[in-house]
C-alpha cells in the first residue's frame, strides 16, 4: 500500500515538473521563433499516400508574465521576456502570421472578476507588443479567466497566472 502511494506521489510530482517546464520565464527571440513556428525544425511531413489532414494543435508557448497585484501593470522581468517575444514575432520566419494572446488567471476570486482581469491583461500584453513594433492587426487578445489552468490539480497556483501565445495562421 505504501509503495502504491509513493508511486502515485512520484507520478504526480513528475507531471507537475513537466508542466512547469512548459511555463517559460526567460527565452531568447530564436528560442521563441522555434517554439512558435508552424513547422518546427525536425518535424517531417507525411508522404502523399496519407491525404487525410491531421488535426494538430497550433504552436504555442505559455509565458510566465507577471503583473502587479490585481493590476494590468507589467513587472520589469516580464518586459524582458516580452521584448524577446516581439523580436520573435517580427522575425522573418514569423512575420506573415498572426497570434492570439490569451490571458489566464488562477482560481482565486470570482469567475466574472477573473474573466475581466485576464482579458485586461491580455490587452496589456498586446499593447506592450504593439509599442515594440508588432502590428496590432496581427494580435488578438482574449481572456480565459481561470478556465484552463496549467496546473489543474492546483487551481490557486501562481503558475496558472500566465499569458499564452498561440500561432493564428
* For the chain, percent of residues with pLDDT exceeding 70: 77
> Per-residue confidence at 94, pLDDT binned at 50, 70, 90?
very high
What burial class does residue 35 get, using C-beta atoms within 10 Å of its C-beta: 0-12 exposed, 13-18 middle, 19+ buried? middle
Question: What is the DSSP code (8-state) at residue 132?
Answer: T
Nearest in space to 85 (alpha carbons), one of 21, 143, 165: 165
Domains of the chain: 2-39+57-168 (3.30.1330.60)
Question: pLDDT digit string (tens) for 15-49?
Answer: 443 444 468 889 999 999 999 998 755 444 454 45
Q: Can you tell me the distance from the alpha carbon of 85 to that of 65, in angstroms, rounded to the nearest whole number?
A: 11
Q: Can you tell me the distance from the alpha carbon of 125 to that of 122, in angstroms, rounded to the nearest whole number?
A: 5
Residue 116 pLDDT = 97
Residue 44 pLDDT = 45
With vertex at residue 19, the alpha carbon angle to CA 16 and CA 24, rounded to the nearest 5 degrees, is 135
Q: Where are the beta strands (DSSP E) in the chain?
A: 23-24, 60-63, 98-104, 139-143, 162-168
Residue 7 pLDDT = 43
Nearest in space to 145 (alpha carbons), one of 123, 160, 125: 160
Question: pLDDT digit string (tens) for 49-73?
Answer: 554 445 567 899 999 998 887 889 9
Q: How many C-beta atoms surround the C-beta of residue 134 within 10 A?
A: 21
Phi then psi for 162, rounded to 5 degrees?
-155, 175
Amino acid at each position: 500500500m505504501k509503495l502504491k502511494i509513493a508511486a502515485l506521489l512520484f507520478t504526480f510530482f513528475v507531471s507537475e515538473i513537466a508542466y512547469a517546464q512548459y511555463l517559460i520565464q526567460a527565452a531568447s527571440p530564436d528560442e521563441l521563433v522555434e517554439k512558435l513556428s508552424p513547422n518546427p525544425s525536425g518535424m517531417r511531413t507525411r508522404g502523399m499516400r496519407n491525404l487525410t489532414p491531421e488535426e494538430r494543435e497550433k504552436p504555442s508557448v505559455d509565458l510566465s508574465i507577471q503583473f502587479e497585484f490585481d493590476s494590468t501593470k507589467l513587472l520589469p522581468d516580464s518586459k524582458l521576456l516580452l521584448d524577446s517575444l516581439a523580436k520573435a514575432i517580427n522575425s522573418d520566419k514569423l512575420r506573415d502570421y498572426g497570434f492570439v494572446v490569451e490571458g489566464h488567471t488562477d482560481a482565486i476570486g470570482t469567475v466574472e472578476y477573473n474573466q475581466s482581469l485576464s482579458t485586461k491583461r491580455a490587452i496589456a500584453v498586446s499593447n506592450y507588443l504593439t509599442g515594440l513594433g508588432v502590428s496590432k492587426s496581427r494580435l488578438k487578445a482574449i481572456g480565459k479567466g481561470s478556465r484552463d489552468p496549467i496546473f489543474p490539480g492546483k487551481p490557486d497556483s501562481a503558475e496558472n497566472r500566465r499569458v499564452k501565445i498561440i500561432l493564428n495562421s
